Structure 1
């Protein structure tokens, strides 16, 4: 991983941690967030997964769009713009 990739990854993890803390308090059934990325194809390769306790909670949050919009806004503040946020951010259940 290049030095710039490490800096970007640290900023990305910090931002997603902030989103996680918000979601734990405000999104019913929310459990955790994770991401995968290939920095050779960034930001197109960025995938963010929001995990919920059940599929109904995940579906409800996906329909409301509050968490998705928050993630997009936070990434924009880092100058990371997702071309297809609804495909790159997914809501799943365990």
Structure 2
């Protein structure tokens, strides 16, 4: 991994950690999230998996979590398609 890729990975992790903490504050059922990405093929390779204690969660909760993720990544000049965010039961 190059230095640039390491920096980019850190930026992604920091943004997603912030989104995760905010989601935990607002959605009781939300537990944690993780991501996968090919750093050479961003943003199209970025995928985020959100884990919840119970599924299904409401459409409003799904929208809130997705918007938090999109907002935090956008603040770091990273784009993610809402279709790249999935919700799973832990």
Q: TM-score, normalised by structure 2?
A: 0.89
Highest relative contact order (Cα 8 Å, sep 6+), 1 or 2?
2
Aligned residue number for residue 69 of structure 1: 67
Q: Residue 30 of structure 1: CA displacement?
A: 0.6
Gapped regions of structure 1 (runs ≥ 5): none
**Which one has the bigger helix percentage?**
1
RMSD across aligned positions (CA): 1.1
Gapped regions of structure 2 (runs ≥ 5): none
Q: Is the 8 A contact 2:24 2:31 kept in 1?
A: yes
- Runs of 4+ aligned residues of structure 1 deviating over 6 Å after TM superposition are none
Aligned residue number for residue 91 of structure 1: 87
May I ask how many residue pairs the two structures share in their alignment? 88
Aligned residue number for residue 79 of structure 1: 77
Q: TM-score, normalised by structure 1?
A: 0.86
